[in-house]
Amino acid sequence: MTAPTKVRVLVIDDHPLFRQGIRWSLESAPDIEVIGEAENGQEAIKLTERLMPDVVLVDINLPGLNGLEVARVI
Would you state the pLDDT for residue 1?
Answer: 59
Would you state the pLDDT for residue 3?
Answer: 65
pTM of the model: 0.89
CA pair distance 53, 6, nearest whole angstrom: 11
- Over range 48-58, report the average pLDDT: 97
Contact 4, 45 (CB under 8 A): no
Look at residue 50 and give its three-state secondary structure. helix
pLDDT tens profile 13-40: 999 999 999 999 999 999 999 999 999 9
- Domains in the chain (CATH in brackets) are 7-73 (3.40.50.2300)
Contact 38, 59 (CB under 8 A): no
Of the candidates 56, 73, 47, the one whose C-alpha atom is nearest the C-alpha of residue 22 is 56
Of the candidates 9, 23, 5, the one whose C-alpha atom is nearest the C-alpha of residue 53 is 9
